[in-house]
Amino acid sequence: ILMTQSPATLSVSPGERATLSCRASQSVSSNLAWYQQKPGQAPRLLIYGASTRATGIPARFSGSGSGTEFTLTISSLQSEDLTVYYCQQYNDWPATFGQGTKVELK
């Protein structure tokens, strides 16, 4: 299953809302996760089941969608959120990741 993220780069001002999109080439139901990866670090699980926040993830991160269209929203961008985000489907093996969206300062 091919996962396509858009945009490749998103420019956002601190305090603004950031909306990241992920599209699957076929339905993955709600079997979708989002990860955040900071430079030089391993990815961190943010969201699973398309909309459930993982342990310790701030409430400003939310996920929505089902089927083939998904969204990660950061409600009020903080400086530490300026990094790369990946979506991943686990509806079918092999698990596959999108190519990432980089959130940068506007």
The answer to whether 1 touches 89, Cβ cutoff 8 Å, is: yes
Classify strands 18-24 and 3-6 as parallel, antiparallel or unpaired. Answer: antiparallel
Separation CA 5–CA 54 (nearest Å): 21
- Of 19, 49, 66, 71, which one interacts with another protein (CB under 8 A)? 49
Site string for another protein, 51-70 (x = CB under 8 A): -x-xx---------------
State which amino acid sits at residue 25: S
Binding residues among 15-44 for another protein as defined by CB under 8 A = 31, 33, 35, 41-44
* Residue 73 in contact with another protein, rule: CB under 8 A: no
The answer to whether 1 touches 24, Cβ cutoff 8 Å, is: yes
Q: How many residues bind another protein (CB under 8 A)?
A: 24
Site string for another protein, 82-101 (x = CB under 8 A): ----x-x-x--xxxxxxxx-
Separation CA 80–CA 58 (nearest Å): 12
Identify the DSSP state of 54: P
Interface ranges with another protein (CB under 8 A) = 31, 33, 35, 41-45, 48-49, 52, 54-55, 86, 88, 90, 93-100
